Amino acid sequence: MRSSSYSVLPARALRTAVVLALAAGAVTVAPAARAASADPAPIAAKPYMGWSSWSMQSSKYPGLNPDGDYSYLTEANVTKQTDALAAKLKKFGYEYVNIDAGWWRDTTWKPEYDRYGRQQADPKRFPSGMKAVADRIHAKGLKAGIYLPAGLEKEAYNDGRTPIWNADGCTTADIVYGDLRTTNGWDSSYKLDFSRPCTQKYIDSQAQLIAGWGYDFLKLDGVGPGSGKSGDQYDNVADVAAWHRAIATSGRPIHLEVSWSLDIGHAADWKKYSNGWRIDTDVECYCNTLVSWENSVDDRWDDAPGWTRHAGPGGWNDLDSLDVGNGAMDGLTKAERQSYATLWAIAKSPLYTGDDLTRLDSYGLSLLTNKEVIALNQGGTPPARPITPSDPQQVWAAKNPDGSYTVALFNLADSPAAVSASWASLGFTGKAAVRDLWNHENLGSFKDKVTEALPAHGSRLFTVTPHGTALAFTGYEAEASGNTLGGNASVADCSACSGGKKVGNLYLGGKLTVNDVVVPKAGTYQVKIAYVSGDARSAAVSVNGGGATHHKFPSTGDWSTVETVSVPLTLKAGSNTITFDSGNGYAPDIDRIDVPKSS
Amino acid sequence: MNTPLPRRDVLALATATGAALATLPAFTASAAPQRPTTAETAQGADPRHELWWQAPADDNSLIEQGLPVGNGRLGALASNDPGHELLLLTDATMWTGGLNDTLDADGQFPYGRDDFGSLTLLARLAVDLPDHDLGAVSGYRRALDLERGVVTTSYVRSGVTYRRQIFASRPDDVIVLHFTQSGGGRYTGTVTLAGTHGEDPDVSFGAAFPNGLKYGAAVTARSTAGRVTVDGDHISFSGCKDLTVVVGGGTNYAPDAARNYRDPSLDPRKLARAKVRDAVAHSADTLLRTHVADYRAESGAFGLTLGASTPEQRSLDTWERIRARARDGEPDPELEAAYVHFGRYLMISGSRGSLPMGLQGLWLDGNDPAWMGDYHTDINIQMNYWMADRVGLSGCFEAFTDYCVAQLPSWTDLTRRLFDDPRNRYRNSTGKNAGWTVAISTNPYGGGGWWWHPAGNAWLCNTLWEHYEYTLSRSHLEKIYPLLKGACEFWEARLLTTTLPGTTREVLIADSDWSPEQGPLDAKGITYAQELVHALFGNYLVAAAALKRDGGFAQTVAGLRKRLYLPQVSPTTGWLEEWMSPDNLGETTHRHLSPLVGLFPGDRIRPDGSTPADIVAGATALLTARGMNSFGWANAWRSLCWARLKHADNAYRLIVNNLRPSTGGGNGTAFNLFDIYELGPGDGIFQIDANFGTPAAVTEMLLYSRPGHLELLPALPDAWAASGSLTGAPARGGFVVDLRWTDGRPTEVRIRSVGGRSTTVAYRGASRTVIVEPGASMILKGKDFVR
């Protein structure tokens, strides 16, 4: 969820929270260690799969939230979705039922806390309490997820008088900063001061509470740097670390997912302390459907590449809910739904849908239950990233341990277009077998490339098994002395780059021309470009002073990581020049280019 | 086999409806088509005459991505989407509006979709194949065969190759969609026909506009193996090994002012049902063969090659190739020739037996085409038909001739009643009013739109006249003679006598007018009018002499012509003057080349020494000032003018400009090769004129002709110099030319007479005189042009 759910609601009188605190403490005194052996698999060994409540909560789709915004979240609805998940999707690997924001708030967003300032089930939404819900989920053989915002919620502060559970002498006054500085993506909490000994106790008390209820998953939301915030006040790395410790001592394995739009500069922290991180803003549109293509499914193609290398067992790049199960409710075309599912699958994002599982249409069910696609997402292959610059027609690929390639074609344009994956851009030449994962078909053997017509916002997902030979390349370092630099362009050190150097400062007229690129034969060559770019940047690439093609190079995540993409360039026999021109904008730093020895 | 008719009651329909209107081009009952006796070979299409793509069109972008088909009257844009074939159908006569004879307060014509009217869509046809979603098929390809006039789509679904052909047949007067497969596949889906003016889906419908025009359409389908049924408002089919869908329709428009341009006896819905029923009784193969034979007969023996492209270029699909041409800057001679062949395809598809093509021909994507999709008489309709004779499609010109002839009574009536309205700033100050003229826009109901366009009559006539010069057809001359004579009468009444300043010389000048479409609204003696009327009078004199008519009036016209003022070069700008003023009163780079009508399409201004050098220099300077970077038709016109000035590089550059890919609505060539004009930022509209003007420029660079004179390769660019040929190309003066060249020089030229008897044939200053009897031909070799 994001800011709207908090900022629209007035703060209520804090004293009511204390009065309403229920005797939940009695439940939590029994540590939840008993559940520890329930699942021997390590947490997040694979991207998790399941369902989340937020997409339907956040939508204005008719009938979903009859009692006001976000009111979909009720015990009855969670039960209904749990049953549907168990009946329809469990056998395909979906297992988490995740309760998102609002479980401790009524329909006017008034919160419930226990006498220790911990979130407590809103009795209207969850009359049986949160433990009963988790028990119900577990009874179906599924796992239960719950949600909390970062920091001490302002409404739980109670003038600093609320005691902290199991922490003698500690009150809410002892866990925040004296100036009551706020934090998280909505500024809805006071920032926790982890230099104070009471503070970890508060997190421990929350962890004990949800572990005691039997939850297997926690989404910690509004976490910064990220969630639209930066700076010390919004740096919640310590919160996440505290949660990591609290979970470790809670006696129950709990998957910790942090949200939203996490700062990639802190990727190491998220990897160290959590099992997954939302890389982007909410996928939901907060409109009459669950999502819409432009707001904001399509952002992910730009935002995922920088994170690719951070995904792996233990922690995954979370692209947010996968709302492809019901076309009318999702607000997407069939093509868009397939592309959405394709990107999530190849990026190794968790696969949790926010759809109404009781109303999946047949196409939606086929997308969510495609065994080959799920196997790709859950299997041991690495996540894919763009291998052609991120123009409207893109190819994403990953080389798999068995020598095959995962190849996805995307057409992000608003009209149908042909998209080609060239084998040369994968590094081999000759023939390859192509398997269509969505359609469960072997398409046959393709020479040099595969081209398919894709609908607007459409995609294809293939496994490509090479039968050809590895392509040989001739490398040209950007920093080579024979090249021509224009404008501000200059050679810079780069430890990750080949030769230890790159050409940077390609902005506002900065230009690099790689001279004397020799090929034996005229033709179109898939030229590999190794580059560094902390954000997505464009360059105009031209050959021999001819017309330029503009390419947007996906982010490499930071300014010290090298990635490679391929661009088709038409070269003449003999010596050529290849120019990267920043024009009126900012271009990536160039490490080197590799030109195939045959076209 | 199950081949139901569109509705159960269809069998009860009369087999023939409507009285045949012998010479009137319209949607009418007609005699059974002639069927070819030879088998049609589907194989072996020349790749140089095939355009192909690797993606279908988006439903919402059909104007830029849909492939056009048409039988000269009934046209469609097709999406070629495997799972959802969408056709937007247009009939050339599907016009709202009417005579529009109540002038606005300024004495000009109203110009709205209700009063003046607009070309609109006839129907939408969808063939849905739920299992053939684009995301689930592979190996998608669609192609437009320019030699046969057939659109073919193919793809593989689960190992089965599916193929569909779409063509618009003139003999059967329907559009056919033929679905086949190999590999054991079956078709299951629906066919849905719906109107676009509020009609609900139905297998046939009929309705009428407020202006009384009735229209209707019908669809039917059959399969040789499978189930086809009418299912409420649509056709359902399942388990079909193949499927033939036939759709047709039209209006009760009649090109006859005396009958208010309607045939009240014609019921379009009934006729449409009869036509689709008659057609579907034949096999799809028979329908295809009939269409291809008819298409080939119209296409004739014209040939054009501009040299060889590289294997790399040949390997690209058409859209990649358009983009590569612009990106790499390398000439792609086969693509450039294909653009000409595509223009021919559009002409054959859009201009036969009905109304001529306006701003968009038969291809719309909505009922609100820019400028009503009308006939613009101040460049656009003329440019549409400049190409026809030059590329051997003289037959397609007839729609334009028939239109003018059919409109003449109304144009004459409107001119008589309304032109001297005191509110009309362009009225004749002589107090006289005679003959006819038009507005800048015209519709098919005799009506004008927007402003009066006094010199429009002359330009229409001069265009009709050039067709006579190409064909020397006496019947054509007789048809257009009343138009020429009426236009001369108009100018006899309109011309003013003035004394040139500083001289005693009395000249005749045109009354107050607007040089299209810029500068002062009340300039007398604008170059545009002076040149067009000068040519009109000259043409009329030849016509009257040839027909031996109106000798006395011809003498009057000859006298007027001698006294006509002709423009001079401005001492201030050095340009040929656009107004009778040394000053530049308009935009330097304005899109119109109105003051250069004497350079092209006229030939009063010739760079061969027969025109005073200062006039040629002034025209060249003006053309230079107009610039090289405009859009579609404006580039094409510039190219034609540079070709006349024998400036190959400029003429070629302007053609290349039009070949630039249009993306985001920008000027240039769309995915489907339609020319796009950027109306505003990001707002591109289709204007067909450049699709014809650009090919006309290509031919004009290779062959210049005027009666009695041919010039070979006057503006051959380096890009096409290595080798090439232009064959079956009509030339003014009554000849057809086959020209071949190598290394920039003609190697052989064959001159066949279709009525001409003598002409000079020139190449770079060397000249031969050829005398040849009609029907005979003569061959000249390259050595004949060595000086």
Checking if the pLDDT of A51 tops 60, the result is: yes
Does the residue B21 lie in any domain?
no
For chain A, the farthest-separated pair of C-alpha atoms sits apart, in whole angstroms, at 84
Q: Do B155 and A546 touch (CB under 8 A)?
A: no
Same domain, A437 and A349: no
Residue with tokens 């021919």: B344
For chain B, the farthest-separated pair of C-alpha atoms sits apart, in whole angstroms, at 89
Same domain, A437 and A358: no
Same domain, A128 and A260: yes
Same domain, A192 and A341: yes
pLDDT (tens digit, 9 = 90+) per residue, A487-540?
999 999 999 999 999 999 999 999 999 999 999 999 999 999 999 999 999 999
Give the model's confidence band at B6: pLDDT under 50 very low, under 70 low, under 90 confident, else very high: very low
Give the model's confidence band at B711: pLDDT under 50 very low, under 70 low, under 90 confident, else very high: very high
Residue of A338, A407, A440, A441 for testing the chain B interface, max B β-carbons within 10 Å: A441
Distance CA B73, CA B251 (A): 11
Q: How far apart are the first and last CA of chain A?
A: 49
The ipTM estimated for the assembled molecules is 0.85
Give the model's confidence band at B47: pLDDT under 50 very low, under 70 low, under 90 confident, else very high: confident
Same domain, B378 and B272: no
Q: For residue A523, which residues of chain B lie inside 8 Å, CB to CB?
A: 312
Q: For residue A410, which residues of chain B lie inside 8 Å, CB to CB?
A: none
Is B135 within 8 Å of chain A by CB? yes
Give the model's confidence band at B720: pLDDT under 50 very low, under 70 low, under 90 confident, else very high: very high
- Structural domains counted in chain A: 3
Same domain, B296 and B357: no
Checking if the pLDDT of B689 tops 80, the result is: yes
Same domain, B208 and B278: yes
pLDDT value, residue A403: 96
Distance from CA of A409 to the nearest CA of B (A): 11
Domain of A522 in residue numbering reads as: 473-596
Give the model's confidence band at A62: pLDDT under 50 very low, under 70 low, under 90 confident, else very high: very high
Q: In what order do the strands lie in the sheet with B448-453?
A: B375-376, B438-442, B448-453
Same domain, B284 and B356: no
pLDDT value, residue A440: 95
Does the residue A585 lie in any domain?
yes
Q: Taking the mean position of all CA atoms in its chain, how far away is CA A573?
A: 44
The CA-CA-CA angle for residues A322, A327, A332, to 5°, reads: 70
Does the residue B111 lie in any domain?
no
Tokens for B209? 């506009």
Distance from CA of A318 to the nearest CA of B (A): 26
pLDDT (tens digit, 9 = 90+) per residue, B740-755?
999 999 999 999 999 9
pLDDT value, residue B291: 98
Checking if the pLDDT of B15 tops 60, the result is: no
Backbone angles phi, psi at B325, to 5 degrees: -60, -45
Distance from CA of A526 to the nearest CA of B (A): 14
Same domain, B432 and B360: yes
Q: How many CB atoms within 10 Å of residue B87? A: 26
Checking if the pLDDT of B4 tops 60, the result is: no
Which H or E element spans position A241? helix A237-248
Same domain, A88 and A194: yes
Among B626, B656, B682, give the residue marking a domain's end.
Answer: B626
Does the residue B102 lie in any domain?
no
pLDDT (tens digit, 9 = 90+) per residue, B545-581?
999 999 999 999 999 999 999 999 999 999 999 999 9
Does the residue A41 lie in any domain?
no
Does the residue A162 lie in any domain?
yes
The CA-CA-CA angle for residues B685, B688, B691, to 5°, reads: 120
Chain B residue at shortest CA distance from A540? B327
Q: Taking the mean position of all CA atoms in its chain, how far away is CA B751?
A: 27
Distances (CA, A) of B467 to B380, B547, B732: 17, 16, 8
The CA-CA-CA angle for residues B219, B224, B225, to 5°, reads: 115
Which H or E element spans position B711? strand B709-712
Distance CA B617, CA B619 (A): 5
pLDDT (tens digit, 9 = 90+) per residue, A116-136?
999 999 999 999 999 999 999
Checking if the pLDDT of B10 tops 80, the result is: no
Checking if the pLDDT of A559 tops 70, the result is: yes
The CA-CA-CA angle for residues A64, A69, A70, to 5°, reads: 70
Does the residue B182 lie in any domain?
yes
- The partner residue sitting opposite B55, judged by closest CB among A416, A523, A524, is A416
Residue of B53, B60, B138, B160 for testing the chain A interface, max A β-carbons within 10 Å: B138
Residue with tokens 């390809």: B141
Distance CA B778, CA B755 (A): 14
Domain of B397 in residue numbering reads as: 351-626
Distance CA A296, CA A340 (A): 11
Q: Is A502 left (phi over 0), alpha (psi -120 to 50) or beta?
A: beta
Is B378 within 8 Å of chain A by CB? no
Tokens for B732? 């003014």
Q: For residue A459, which residues of chain B lie inside 8 Å, CB to CB?
A: 135
Among A358, A382, A406, give the residue marking a domain's end.
Answer: A382
CB A239 within 8 A of CB A270: no
Average pLDDT over residues B301-312: 96
Distances (CA, A) of B145 to A141, A451, B246, B315, B402: 61, 22, 20, 17, 29
Chain B, window 20-59: residues with a beta carbon less than 8 angstroms from a chain A beta carbon: 53-58
Same domain, B402 and B271: no
Q: For residue A452, which residues of chain B lie inside 8 Å, CB to CB?
A: 54, 138-140
CATH of the domain at A119: 3.20.20.70
Q: Do B58 and A456 touch (CB under 8 A)?
A: yes
| SS3 label, residue A57 | helix
Checking if the pLDDT of B24 tops 60, the result is: no
Give the model's confidence band at B519: pLDDT under 50 very low, under 70 low, under 90 confident, else very high: very high
Beta strands B119-128 and A589-596, pairing class: unpaired
Same domain, B76 and B168: yes
Same domain, A86 and A135: yes
Distance from CA of A342 to the nearest CA of B (A): 12
Among A431, A448, A470, give the residue marking a domain's end.
Answer: A470
User: Alpha-carbon Rg of chain A, whole angstroms?
Assistant: 26
Checking if the pLDDT of B163 tops 70, the result is: yes
Distances (CA, A) of B781 to A209, B630, B738, B747, B778: 101, 39, 12, 6, 10
Does the residue B424 lie in any domain?
yes
Is B682 within 8 Å of chain A by CB? no
Same domain, A453 and A517: no
Among A382, A402, A427, give the residue marking a domain's end.
Answer: A382
Please name the residues in contact with A517: beta carbons below 8 A apart, sequence gap of 6 or more.
A476, A571, A575, A576, A577, A578, A593, A595
Looking from the CA of A423 toward its CB, the CA atoms found within 13 Å total 26
Residue with tokens 């199991």: A166
Same domain, B411 and B281: no
The residue among B141 and B29 whose pLDDT is bigger is: B141
Same domain, A118 and A240: yes
pLDDT value, residue A159: 97
| SS3 label, residue B74 | strand
CATH of the domain at A422: 2.60.40.1180
Does the residue A40 lie in any domain?
no
Chain B residue at shortest CA distance from A444? B159
pLDDT value, residue B18: 32
> pTM for the whole thing?
0.90
Distance from CA of B680 to the nearest CA of A (A): 20
Checking if the pLDDT of B630 tops 70, the result is: yes
Checking if the pLDDT of B5 tops 60, the result is: no
Alpha helix stretches (DSSP H) within B222-280:
268-280
Give the model's confidence band at A13: pLDDT under 50 very low, under 70 low, under 90 confident, else very high: very low
Tokens for A471? 């392509």
Checking if the pLDDT of A11 tops 80, the result is: no
Among B576, B601, B626, give the residue marking a domain's end.
Answer: B626
Is B673 within 8 Å of chain A by CB? no
List b or e across B622-655, with b for residues whose CB sees 16 or more CB atoms inside 10 angstroms.
bbbebeeebbbbbbbbbbbbbbbbbbbebbbbbb
- Provide the mean pLDDT of chain A: 93
Same domain, B293 and B380: no
User: Alpha-carbon Rg of chain B, whole angstroms?
Assistant: 26
Tokens for B469? 């010069």
Count A/B contacts: CB-CB distance under 8 Å: 78
Same domain, B423 and B569: yes
CATH of the domain at B777: 2.60.40.1180
CB A59 within 8 A of CB A286: yes
Q: How many CB atoms within 10 Å of residue A376? A: 22
- Structural domains counted in chain B: 3
Does the residue A37 lie in any domain?
no
Chain B residue at shortest CA distance from A417? B55
Is B3 within 8 Å of chain A by CB? no
pLDDT value, residue A40: 55
CB B111 within 8 A of CB B441: yes
Give the model's confidence band at B46: pLDDT under 50 very low, under 70 low, under 90 confident, else very high: confident
Same domain, A310 and A361: yes
pLDDT value, residue B9: 33
Same domain, B567 and B439: yes
Backbone angles phi, psi at A391, to 5 degrees: -85, 175
Same domain, A57 and A118: yes
Checking if the pLDDT of A78 tops 70, the result is: yes
Q: For residue B55, which residues of chain A lie inside 8 Å, CB to CB?
A: 415-418, 453-454
Does the residue A556 lie in any domain?
yes
pLDDT value, residue B40: 60
Same domain, A522 and A400: no
Does the residue A256 lie in any domain?
yes
Backbone angles phi, psi at B61, to 5 degrees: -130, 30
Q: Do A522 and B54 touch (CB under 8 A)?
A: no
Checking if the pLDDT of B488 tops 80, the result is: yes
Does the residue B33 lie in any domain?
no
CB B686 within 8 A of CB B667: no
Average pLDDT over residues B471-490: 98
Query: In 3D, which of B707, B691, B786, B756 has the Cα closest to residue B146?
Result: B691
Residue with tokens 């006896």: B265
Tokens for B154? 């193919």
- The partner residue sitting opposite B328, judged by closest CB among A418, A453, A547, is A547
Same domain, A328 and A288: yes
Please name the residues in contact with A13: beta carbons below 8 A apart, sequence gap of 6 or more.
none
Chain B residue at shortest CA distance from A410? B135
pLDDT value, residue B787: 64
For residue A500, which amino acid is it? Answer: G
Q: With 0-12 CB in 10 A as exposed, 13-18 as middle and 19+ as buried, what is A433?
A: middle
For residue A126, which amino acid is it? Answer: F
Checking if the pLDDT of A8 tops 80, the result is: no
Among B300, B317, B340, give the residue marking a domain's end.
Answer: B300
Distances (CA, A) of B278 to A495, B165, B192: 77, 19, 20
